[in-house]
């Protein structure tokens, strides 16, 4: 005998995880009114192959928030021209633009991968007049002629010789540098065992801030100072 009050759940096809993520982020953007969250939703919709989940995972976000907050505390919030090395999807640029403490004339994000340009532009579309994504090798840039007032590189573990790269910058240039001790990642060709080793490798003429941020699998190191 069949109980009339019992029903069999309707079988539905599996939902597309990308669509679910898009709806979730759009909902969070609507709830919070945050323009960066809305920009992430646009990236999910427009660039389905983008690794946006990796770019915005909690460790990446924590390290970039640390960089943003310590930058403001150490050097203040007014910049005419920031050069962002290995900028990838422009997440740090988006965070800086989203923070009302900062007044920034221009951020130029350089990455050797041409596939990230369009994604970075989508993420920072609300600030298109103050942002450029450029495909270029950081070793081929003319830092001395351009003279940015701040150079940021949060991926120093990917640089074989930090000193050789920093020697291209003009003397006294302000920099924010991050590295880590995550030797297990094959692309980390120059991970550092300690913060002290990172500082010794960078050889900055002036260190205004040196600190570390422990994560689950590694510790992130950061230096702010002048070449």
Average pLDDT over residues 63-82: 98
Average pLDDT over residues 32-49: 89
- pLDDT of 12 > 50? The answer is no
Which helix (H) or strand (E) segment holds residue 84: the answer is: strand 78-85
pLDDT at 152: 98
CA angle (214, 137, 121) in 5-degree steps: 75
At 14, the pLDDT band (50, 70, 90 cuts) reads low
pLDDT at 29: 67
Q: Report which DSSP code applies to 190.
A: T
At 94, the pLDDT band (50, 70, 90 cuts) reads very high
Please, are residues 50 and 21 in contact by the beta-carbon 8 Å criterion?
Answer: no
- pLDDT of 176 > 60? The answer is yes
Residue positions counted in the chain: 227
Phi and psi torsions of 71, nearest 5°: -60, -45
- pLDDT of 23 > 90? The answer is no
- Structure pTM? 0.89
Computed over every residue of the chain, the mean pLDDT equals 91
Average pLDDT over residues 187-196: 96
- pLDDT of 124 > 90? The answer is yes
pLDDT at 2: 41
Which distant-in-sequence residues (6+ apart) come within 8 Å of 109 by Cβ?
84, 87, 90, 93, 120, 131, 132, 133, 134
Long-range contacts of 189-195 (CB under 8 A, 24+ apart): 189/157, 189/158, 189/159, 189/160, 190/156, 190/157, 190/158, 190/159, 190/160, 190/161, 190/162, 191/157, 192/157, 192/221, 194/221, 195/221
């Amino acid at each position: 005998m069949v109980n009339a009050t019992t029903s069999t759940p309707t079988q539905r096809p599996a939902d597309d995880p990308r669509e679910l993520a898009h709806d979730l982020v759009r909902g969070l953007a609507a709830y919070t009114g945050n323009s960066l969250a809305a920009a992430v939703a646009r990236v999910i919709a427009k660039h389905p192959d983008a690794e946006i989940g990796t770019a915005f995972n909690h460790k990446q976000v924590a390290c970039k928030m640390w960089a943003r907050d310590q930058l403001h505390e150490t050097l203040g919030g007014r910049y005419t021209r920031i050069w962002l090395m290995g900028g990838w999807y422009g997440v740090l640029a988006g965070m800086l633009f989203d923070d009302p403490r900062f007044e920034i004339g221009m951020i130029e994000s350089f990455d050797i991968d041409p596939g990230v340009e369009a994604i970075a532009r989508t993420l920072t579309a609300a600030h298109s007049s103050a942002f450029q994504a450029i495909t270029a090798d950081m070793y081929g840039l003319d830092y001395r002629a351009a003279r940015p007032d701040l150079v940021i590189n949060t991926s120093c573990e990917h640089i074989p010789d930090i000193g050789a790269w920093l020697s291209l910058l003009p003397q006294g240039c302000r920099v924010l540098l991050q590295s880590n001790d995550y030797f297990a990642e094959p692309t980390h060709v120059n991970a550092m065992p300690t913060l002290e080793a990172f500082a010794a490798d960078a050889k900055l003429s002036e260190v205004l801030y040196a600190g570390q941020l422990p994560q689950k699998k590694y510790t992130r190191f950061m230096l702010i100072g002048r070449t």
